[in-house]
Amino acid sequence: MRLISPELLTTLDLTHVQYRPDDPYGAYLALVTLAPVLILTSYVAVFLVRREVVYLNALLGQVVTEIVNGKLKRYIKQARPTEFLGLGYGMPSSHAQFCGFFVVFWTCHLLFHRPDRKARMSHHVDSFVFVLLIWLFGVLTCYSRVHLYYHTSLQVLVGGTIGSIIGALYYAATEAFVRAAPAGSVVHSARHFFYTNSLSRALHLRDGGMAWEDAGAAAEYATWFSKMTASPGGILTNGSLACHVRMMLLALTQADDCDAVKGAFSVGCAIAVPALQLADPEAPIESLHDVEPRALTTGFSREFPGNTHAEECAIEKLARYCVRTPGGQGGAAIDMARSRAPIRLLLYTTMEPCSERLSGNKPCVARILETNAQPMYTTCKWLAKLAASIPENAGVSPVAADDLLRPVRIDVVLQGVPEPDDFVKCVGQRTLRMHGIHVVTVTPESSPSAIGVSLPNLASVPIAIDTQQPTGWLREACLCMARKGHKDA
Ligand SMILES: [Zn+2]
| DSSP letter assigned to residue 391 | G
Three-state SS at 143: helix
- Specify the number of domains making up the chain: 2
CA of 312 to the centre of ligand 1 (A): 7
- Phi, psi of 293, deg, nearest 5: -70, 135
CA of 214 to the centre of ligand 1 (A): 25
CA of 117 to the centre of ligand 1 (A): 24
Instruction: For the beta carbon of residue 76, count every other beta carbon within 10 angstroms.
Output: 13
Q: Do 194 and 265 fall into the same domain?
A: no
pLDDT, tens digit (0-9, with 9 covering 90-100), for 391-450: 888 877 777 778 889 999 999 999 999 988 888 888 898 899 888 898 999 999 888 888
pLDDT, tens digit (0-9, with 9 covering 90-100), for 238-264: 888 899 999 999 999 999 999 988 888
Domain boundary among 164, 181, 210: 210
| Integer Cα distance of 96 and 475 in angstroms | 55
Closest residue by Cα to residue 344 from 386, 421, 406, 423: 406
How confident is residue 273, by pLDDT bands cut at 50, 70 and 90? very high
Instruction: Judge whether 361 lies within some domain.
Output: yes
CA of 221 to the centre of ligand 1 (A): 24
Lowest mean pLDDT among 31-40, 47-56, 315-324, 375-384: 31-40
Q: Do 182 and 228 fall into the same domain?
A: no
Give the domain extent around 236: 217-482
Q: Do 373 and 456 fall into the same domain?
A: yes
Instruction: Judge whether 487 lies within some domain.
Output: no
CA of 416 to the centre of ligand 1 (A): 14
- pLDDT of residue 156 exceeding 50: yes
CA of 362 to the centre of ligand 1 (A): 8
How confident is residue 268, by pLDDT bands cut at 50, 70 and 90? very high
- Phi, psi of 473, deg, nearest 5: -65, -40
CA of 123 to the centre of ligand 1 (A): 25
- Single-letter amino acid code for the residue at 344: R
Sign of CA dihedral 164, 170, 171, 177: positive
Q: Do 191 and 309 fall into the same domain?
A: no
What per-residue confidence (pLDDT) applies to 489? Answer: 40
Closest residue by Cα to residue 236 from 279, 281, 285, 273: 285
Closest residue by Cα to residue 260 from 6, 7, 487, 88: 487
Q: Do 192 and 315 fall into the same domain?
A: no
Domain boundary among 195, 210, 225: 210
Instruction: Judge whether 118 lies within some domain.
Output: yes
pLDDT, tens digit (0-9, with 9 covering 90-100), for 362-374: 999 999 999 999 9
Closest residue by Cα to residue 290 from 250, 241, 248: 241
CA of 351 to the centre of ligand 1 (A): 9
| Integer Cα distance of 225 and 221 in angstroms | 6
CA of 311 to the centre of ligand 1 (A): 6
| Integer Cα distance of 370 and 374 in angstroms | 6
What per-residue confidence (pLDDT) applies to 2? Answer: 59
Q: Do 47 and 188 fall into the same domain?
A: yes
CA of 480 to the centre of ligand 1 (A): 17
How confident is residue 151, by pLDDT bands cut at 50, 70 and 90? confident
- pLDDT of residue 383 exceeding 90: yes
- pLDDT of residue 120 exceeding 60: no
Q: Do 104 and 35 fall into the same domain?
A: yes
What per-residue confidence (pLDDT) applies to 397? Answer: 72
CA of 310 to the centre of ligand 1 (A): 7
Q: Do 261 and 200 fall into the same domain?
A: no
CATH number at residue 320: 3.40.140.10
pLDDT, tens digit (0-9, with 9 covering 90-100), for 94-116: 888 999 999 999 998 888 776 55
| Integer Cα distance of 141 and 147 in angstroms | 10
Cβ pair 281, 344 in contact under 8 A: yes
Task: Select the more confidently predicted residue: 379 or 179.
Answer: 379
CA of 238 to the centre of ligand 1 (A): 23
Q: Do 205 and 228 fall into the same domain?
A: no
Q: How open is the CA angle 415-374-339, to the nearest 5 degrees? A: 105
Among 123-127, 210-214, 393-397, top mean pLDDT goes to: 393-397
Percentage of residues of the chain with pLDDT beyond 70? 92
CA of 338 to the centre of ligand 1 (A): 28
Lowest mean pLDDT among 104-108, 308-312, 367-371, 451-455: 451-455
Instruction: Judge whether 205 lies within some domain.
Output: yes
CA of 301 to the centre of ligand 1 (A): 8
How confident is residue 122, by pLDDT bands cut at 50, 70 and 90? low
Lowest mean pLDDT among 36-50, 158-172, 279-293: 279-293
Closest residue by Cα to residue 464 from 452, 476, 453, 456: 476
Instruction: Judge whether 374 lies within some domain.
Output: yes
CA of 258 to the centre of ligand 1 (A): 14
Classify the phi-psi angles of 260: left when phi > 0, otherwise alpha if psi is within -120 to 50, otherwise beta: beta
CA of 293 to the centre of ligand 1 (A): 22
What per-residue confidence (pLDDT) applies to 82? Answer: 74
Lowest mean pLDDT among 57-61, 213-217, 456-460: 213-217
CA of 374 to the centre of ligand 1 (A): 19
Q: Do 440 and 408 fall into the same domain?
A: yes
Average pLDDT over residues 466-474: 82
Domain boundary among 192, 210, 228: 210
CA of 354 to the centre of ligand 1 (A): 4
Instruction: Judge whether 49 lies within some domain.
Output: yes
CA of 430 to the centre of ligand 1 (A): 15
CA of 481 to the centre of ligand 1 (A): 15
Average pLDDT over residues 285-295: 84
Output the average pLDDT for the chain: 86
CA of 195 to the centre of ligand 1 (A): 34
What per-residue confidence (pLDDT) applies to 337? Answer: 85
| Integer Cα distance of 339 and 189 in angstroms | 59
193: burial class by Cβ within 10 Å (0-12, 13-18, 19+)? exposed
CA of 254 to the centre of ligand 1 (A): 15
Lowest mean pLDDT among 24-28, 85-89, 107-111, 432-436: 85-89
Q: Do 205 and 241 fall into the same domain?
A: no
CA of 484 to the centre of ligand 1 (A): 16
CA of 400 to the centre of ligand 1 (A): 31
CA of 54 to the centre of ligand 1 (A): 37
CA of 173 to the centre of ligand 1 (A): 41
Q: Do 196 and 345 fall into the same domain?
A: no
In the structure, how many helices (H) and strands (E) does the chain have?
A: 20, 6
Average pLDDT over residues 223-230: 65
Instruction: Judge whether 489 lies within some domain.
Output: no
Instruction: Judge whether 488 lies within some domain.
Output: no
What per-residue confidence (pLDDT) applies to 32? Answer: 80
CA of 365 to the centre of ligand 1 (A): 7
- Single-letter amino acid code for the residue at 347: L
End-to-end Cα distance, the chain: 92
